Amino acid sequence: MPDNYEVLRRFRNNIPDLHNGSYRRVWGKAVTKKSMRSAVNAKCQDCMCWQSAEIKQCDIVTCPLWQYRPNQGKDEKAQSEAVVGIARQICVEPATSFAETPSTDVSRTGNVLI
């Protein structure tokens, strides 16, 4: 099993050295505990294979980082608020009965909620 130094070194070397090293800098700030914002940004960049433009298109609303992902424009604000409203109904307001709580549900992203 590789040691943590080797794991981190290899991961960093696999981050595309684009935009004057900005992807690597953001990831570095995250893993050195300098910035939680950088941690979110780096995770989204990694998730979208270091294609920043793709983050804006992300529709995985079940992801805990979705509301915090970078590159959100004004166009996404209304959608974001709508998702928050739905999430509050589900997460804050208790189900009225156990029978009304779906055991499985396939969201539009294909994730199965249990």
Question: What is the binding site for ligand SF4 (CB under 6 A)?
Answer: 43-44, 47-48, 55, 58, 60, 63, 65-66, 69
Of 49 and 99, nearer to ligand SF4 (C-beta) is 49
- Based on the number of CB atoms within 10 Å of its own CB, is 82 exposed (0-12), middle (13-18) or buried (19 or more)? exposed
What's the full length of the chain, in residues? Answer: 114
How far from chain centre, in Å, is Cα 41?
8
Of 101 and 111, nearer to ligand SF4 (C-beta) is 111
Distance in Å, CB of 100 to ligand SF4, minimum: 28
Distance in Å, CB of 73 to ligand SF4, minimum: 15
Identity of the amino acid at 24: R
